[in-house]
Chain A
Amino acid sequence: MKADRPRQIGARVQRFEDIRLLSGTARYIDDIRLPGMLNLTFVRAEMAHARILGIDSSALAELGYPTWLFTGKDTAGLSMKAHQDVPEMQYSEQPLLAGDRVRFVGEPVAVVLAEDAYKAEDAAETVLVDYDPLPVVGTMAQGRDNSLPPLFDGWTGNVIIERQMKGGDLDVARAAAAHTIRRTYRTQRQAGVPMEGRGVVARYDPADRTLTVWSSTQMPHLVRTYIAEELGLPESRIRVVAPDVGGGFGVKGQVYADEVLIAWLAMKTGRPVKWVEDRREHLIASIHARDHEHTLEAYVSADGMLLGLKADITVDNGAYSTYPFTSAGEPGMVGKVLPGPYRLPAYEATYRAVATNKCPIGTYRGVARPSAVFSQERLMDDIAAELKMDPFEFRLRNIVREFPYKNVLGFTYDAGSYAQSLEKMRDLLAPDIAEAAASKASTTKRIGVGFACFNEQTAHGTPDFTRRRVPIETGYIAARVTMAPDGEVTVDLGLQNHGQGLETTMAQVAADALGIDPAQVYVRHGDTLTTPYSVGTWGSRGGALGGGAVHLASMRIAEKLRAIAAHLLQARPDEIELAGGRAALRGNPGNSIEIRKLARMALRNVEQLPEGMIPGLEAEFSLDGPGDGTYSNAVHAAVVEIDIATGKTKLRRFVVVEDCGTMLNPLVVDGQVRGGVVQGIGSAMFEHFIYDAECQPLTTSFADYLMPLAPEIPDIEVHHIETPTPLTPLGAKGLGEGGAIGPAAAVANAVANALGVGVTSTPLTTNAVWKLCKHLREAG
């Protein structure tokens, strides 16, 4: 209802959840301890590809304390099934514990349980697995080589899926092109790596057949459904709780084999079972992400108009398909988003995932888009260079300007600020561009400016998942809002909060609709017992859809409060305004009643309600996303300073111009953007999971897997343009992932600009940049 002026939405409200997080009183998965609990340690595969000949657990009996051992024989028949329902896909299942074969280093082979975590680890070390090694499939090229034996019986080769997307007529584009620019771009294997790893605790109560599973997850309802279906339990008797979760970034937006396994073990042993991942396990066996190769061929007219784009996309998927986004998710996303924010008349993409003997690929903030935008925006700079055009000018000539815009694949872009963002960024960078140009005279130190322009499909709804035929199936978020007799409000939210500030932003949304203070709104989440079924927190849908659901549910309560107030004040409901804790006659604020008194009437003094009104102040709303989602947009820019002798690359400046529609809380928006950007800088410059030729992981600690530290990072400048979308109730678009999408492209373009070379891959480590400086060292 437009009549209610926003008062809290858009305010920089300090976060309510901070108090427990700052004081050390938050409760994460490792803080859950139950009487009689057993601690679990995994015995994990030490070889990337091998037959299991036998498991010798005879030493357990000599330890002098009780242990429990389970192997793949015990869990035979139980598995993770992540199938995209298309004929081109070769299906595989990941057993909860390996059967007769392991397919990546770190794959769970057995579990040992003991009454103390140290003892469980000791005991697991005594279990010996006899392996017969098999040849590994270790690279994309090997994955596409059908002469190598397949990873799964019954498969033909190791290409899991290969499909096409197309729109327009590429032959026409090719025939009309004055320039054809072909490049291959690569982005490395990385992961979200939250500071808290994963962990699961499960307890089964046979008396009432209830199973409780605590998991550090972003999607408790989906965990519940999978466990129910796989273990054949009534879902009504399963409760999944995500306690405080120490970061997710997509790594915890999957259902894992261990979640099902530990639930099963709690039933099997009759004891609560707990597993908390250690960092080595996290780095080798929770999901990885990215690992792409894209070959792009662009067809461009003599005057710099994009005529067509052909893309060939390969993702190194690792050993298994992950649930619920599947092996097709990552390459399919690249195919879907490569047209980007540009007018592109013709497009054709072939995308594939190949199986290798590495950790499975899953989602990580941005989901394929950091790689897609890296390729797209490196290509735009490479085309501009070939045409001797200014990179801003080239993009502005091709940028989408009219909205809604139906792109070459049929996706509709809602309102955005694409050209405006580019123009604003060009102004912000003017002094750096001048300085970079001046540095070109030097062969010892170079300044470079690079930027990346992108749009991002966010908060996509059920039709998007139906089209993809992935097991996630749907995209809605639900919220239930309840006002108690004292006027205080509870929001039970289907989202799960793991750093996004949802306990604050959702309170702001409810408070605005109800005319009360956000501090009066208690937001609960992450517990299937109290929250309505939802898909969880991922895909940049929290603010847009969670906020929308809270708003619409709250408005239903507001409507009832207005009806009660109108009855008491002898007015029409549409004359009542809720604000400042009071329901007042519009234009006559003296004529009012406290909202908490209305709440008491609605629930206790019901005799004062209008005749026929049903008591109660509770409303629930499930909000699906728009069919094509709502498109956020941004331009990211990096200014780098490169020492030619050493390759040392300093980030002097990083600037963001972003448009996520209505901002619910700018403090939180800035935090999400900056945090995402620094993860993206990690992708651009530091982070890389490396495997050797036998598929042994070489990056198994934080001493090898390097994430950005504070001294390497400049202040991230954030500028906002707000173009509300008509597609969500509050005009909000998705925001959580965008920060991570642009930096790899922006930094790479800055390095290319500084050195006058093409950059085709990340990470741009000091060593990688040093190699790119060779021509300048030789010239100097």
Chain B
Amino acid sequence: MSMTDIALEVNGRKKTIAVEPRRLLADVLRQEFGLSGVHIGCAHGVCGCCTVHLDGAPRLSCLTFAVQCDGASVTTVEALGGPTAQHPLQQAFRSEHGLQCGYCTPGFLMALLPFVDEMVARRHRPDDAEIREAMSGNICRCTGYHGIVAAVRKAIDASLAKGA
């Protein structure tokens, strides 16, 4: 199969690679870039495990071909808070027990981070229903979502309090 050259900036690192047009962004990130924090849960766009940021917006990397991303900037969970997970949203997931097996967790973090930022920017304290709606594209099989909702609320409250 023919190969196509594409340029990607992944977590701030630029790289030009040759890929088959059919190759999924998720596979390219996992294999060519060694980013095993990108998890594939269903590979048909329902569970949200593989969510990354493409030019700043959440994107399902299992429904995206790498060739579609030529010239784009990609961010994965590895860039969020480093190897010790220092980002406030990660810390809130930990303190509120928003994860158990951890497989869906990178997807939740990447899906929810823009929501947290938006709420803080709007200085809006969302209710539970809004928080739950914001994570409706992700499936967690372990936590029952309770701890994730609490973590999002905590991260937003902490930022709002800091900005007050």
Interface residues, chain A, CB within 8 Å of chain B?
14-15, 17-28, 30-31, 118, 192-196, 244-249, 278-279, 498-501, 667-668, 670-671, 674-679, 701-703, 707-711, 713, 715-716, 739
B7 near A: Cβ within 8 Å?
no
Query: A715 touching B146 by the CB < 8 A rule?
Result: yes
5 A–B contacts from the bound complex (CB under 8 Å): A23-B84, A194-B141, A671-B97, A707-B141, A711-B132
Measured between beta carbons, the chain B residues less than 8 angstroms from A703 are 44, 46
Give the contacting residue for B47; candidates A25, A28, A674, A702; CB below 8 A: A702
A25 touches B37 (CB 8 A): yes
Is B120 interfacial (CB 8 A cutoff)? no
* Contact A195 B49, beta carbon cutoff 8 Å: yes
Residue of B with least CB distance to A12:
B97
Does the CB pair B84–A701 fall under 8 Å? no
B20 neighbours in A (Cβ, 8 Å):
118
B89 to chain A, nearest CB (A): 9
User: B69 on the interface (CB 8 Å rule)?
Assistant: no
* A residues in contact with B146, CB < 8 Å: 670-671, 674, 715-716
User: Apart from A28-B36, A499-B142, what are 18 other A-B pairs with CB-CB below 8 Å?
Assistant: A18-B99, A20-B102, A22-B85, A22-B93, A24-B38, A24-B77, A24-B78, A25-B78, A27-B36, A28-B39, A31-B36, A195-B141, A196-B103, A246-B39, A279-B42, A675-B100, A679-B141, A710-B149
Q: B90 at interface (Cβ–Cβ under 8 A)?
A: yes
**Roughly how many angstroms separate A501 CA and B143 CA in the complex, as a whole number?**
12
Given contacts A15-B97, A24-B77, A26-B102, contact A671 B147 (CB under 8 A): yes
Cβ–Cβ < 8 Å partners of A709 in chain B:
136, 139
Nearest opposing residue in chain A for B130, CB measure: A711
* Chain A residues near B49 (CB-CB < 8 A): 195
Task: Report B-chain residues with C-beta under 8 Å of the C-beta of A245.
Answer: 101
Supposing A118-B23, A195-B141 touch, asked if A22 and B99 sit within 8 A by C-beta, the answer is: yes
Contacts of B138 in A (CB 8 A): 710
CB of B155 within 8 A of chain A? no
Is B35 part of the binding interface, using a Cβ–Cβ cutoff of 8 Å? yes
**Complex Cα gap A20–B20 (Å):** 32
What is the CB-to-nearest-CB distance from A222 to chain B, in angstroms, rounded to a whole number?
Answer: 20
- Interface residues in B29-88 by Cβ distance below 8 A to A read 30, 35-44, 46-47, 49, 76-78, 80-85
CA distance A27 to B22 in the complex (A): 26
What 7 A-B pairs come out closest when comparing CB atoms?
A: A24-B37, A21-B102, A246-B103, A678-B144, A499-B100, A499-B101, A702-B46
A22 touches B102 (CB 8 A): yes
| B95 on the A face (CB < 8 A) | yes
Measured CB to CB, the nearest residue on chain B to A680 is: B144
Closest partner residue, chain A, to B95 (CB atom): A14
Expressed in whole angstroms, the minimum distance between the Cβ of B66 and any Cβ of chain A is 12
Known: A23-B83, A278-B43. Is A715-B128 also a contact (CB below 8 A)? yes
**B contact residues around A498 at 8 Å (CB):** 101
Which of B97, B129, B131, B141 interacts with A247 by CB under 8 Å? B141
Q: List the A side residues contacting B90 at CB < 8 Å.
A: 22-23
In the bound assembly, the distance between CA atoms of A675 and B100 in angstroms comes to: 9
* Chain A residues positioned under 8 Å from B135 (CB to CB): 710
**Is B123 engaged at the interface, CB distance under 8 Å to the other chain?**
no
B140 within 8 A of A: yes
Q: Are A247 and B101 in contact (CB under 8 A)?
A: yes
B25 interface hit (Cβ, 8 Å): no
Which A residues lie within 8 Å of B37 (CB)? 23-26
Once A22-B85, A23-B37, A703-B44 are accepted as A-B contacts, the answer to whether A711 and B129 lie under 8 Å apart by CB is yes
Q: Is B109 part of the binding interface, using a Cβ–Cβ cutoff of 8 Å?
A: yes
Q: Shortest Cβ distance from B90 into chain A, in angstroms?
A: 4
Residues of B within 8 A of A (CB): 20, 22-23, 30, 35-44, 46-47, 49, 76-78, 80-85, 90, 93-95, 97, 99-106, 109, 128-129, 131-133, 135-136, 138-149
Which of B42, B82, B144 lies in contact with A713, CB distance below 8 A?
A: B144
- Residues of chain B with a CB closer than 8 A to A679's CB: 141, 144
- Which residues of A sit under 8 angstroms from B149, Cβ to Cβ? 710, 715
Q: Is the CB of B105 within 8 A of A21?
A: yes
Determine which residue in B43, B49, B133, B135 has the highest number of CB atoms from chain A within 10 A of its CB, and name it: B43
A398 vs B35: C-alpha distance when bound (angstroms): 58
Q: Which of A195, A278, A674 has the most CB of B within 10 A?
A: A195
Chain B nearest CB, measured from A519 CB (Å): 14
Chain A residue numbers with a CB within 8 Å of B106 are 24
Minimal beta-carbon separation of B123 from chain A (angstroms): 24
Whether B97 contacts A707 by the Cβ 8 Å rule is: no
Chain A residue nearest in CB terms to B145:
A710
CA gap between A685 and B21 in the complex, in Å:
41
Q: Which residues of B contact A701 (CB under 8 A)?
A: 42, 44, 46
Q: Report whether A195 and B104 are in contact in the complex, using a CB–CB cutoff of 8 Å.
A: yes
Contact, CB under 8 Å: A499 / B46: no
Q: Which residue of A lies closest to B31 (CB)?
A: A33
What are the residues of chain A within 8 A of B131 when measuring CB–CB? 710
Which residues from B are CB-within-8-Å of A118?
20, 22-23
Measured between alpha carbons, how far is A675 from B23 in the docked complex, in Å?
A: 35
User: Considering the chains assembled together, what is the distance between the CA atoms of A278 and B27 in angstroms?
Assistant: 13
Q: For residue B30, which residues in chain A have a CB less than 8 angstroms away from its CB?
A: 30-31
Q: List the A residue with the shortest CB-CB distance to B20.
A: A118
Return the chain A residue nearest B100 by Cβ. A499
Complex Cα gap A704–B19 (Å):
32
A17 smallest CB distance to B (angstroms): 8
Name A710's contact: one of B36, B84, B94, B148 (CB within 8 Å): B148
Residues of B within 8 A of A675 (CB): 100, 141-144
Interchain CB contact under 8 A, A710 and B41: no
Q: Chain A nearest CB: distance from B6 CB in Å?
A: 17
- Do A196 and B39 touch (CB < 8 A)? yes
Q: Are B141 and A18 in contact (CB under 8 A)?
A: no
Smallest distance from the beta carbon of B126 to chain A beta carbons, Å? Answer: 13
A22 and B109 contacting across the interface, CB-CB below 8 Å: yes
What residues of B have a CB within 8 angstroms of the CB of A246 in the complex?
Answer: 39, 101-104
**Candidate in A17, A498, A671, A716 with the most chain B CB atoms within 10 angstroms:** A671
Q: How far is the CB of A716 from chain B (nearest CB, A)?
A: 6
- From known contacts A196-B39, A710-B132, A713-B145, infer whether A19 and B85 are also in contact, taking CB-CB under 8 Å: yes
Asked whether A194 and B93 contact (CB < 8 A) given A674-B144, A678-B144, A703-B46, the answer is: no
Neighbour of A702 across the interface among B81, B95, B136, B139, CB < 8 A? B139
In the complex, are the beta carbons of B100 and A501 less than 8 A apart? yes
A677 to B132, CA, bound (A): 17
Decide: A195 near B97, CB < 8 A? Known: A22-B90, A674-B146, A713-B144. no
Complex formed: what's the CA distance from A703 to B46 in Å?
Answer: 7
- The smallest C-beta distance from A747 to any residue of chain B, in angstroms, reads 14
Whether A23 touches B78, Cβ cut-off 8 Å, given contacts A674-B144, A702-B47, A716-B146, is yes
**Please, how many angstroms separate the alpha-carbon atoms of A196 and B43 in the complex?**
11
Write the chain B residue with the least CB distance to A678: B144
A193, B42: Cα distance in complex, Å: 11
The CA of A505 and the CA of B38, in the complex, are separated in Å by 28
On chain A, the residues within 8 Å of B102 by CB distance are: 17-18, 20-22, 26, 244, 246, 499
Query: A279-B44, A702-B139 known; A671 and B84 CB under 8 Å?
Result: no
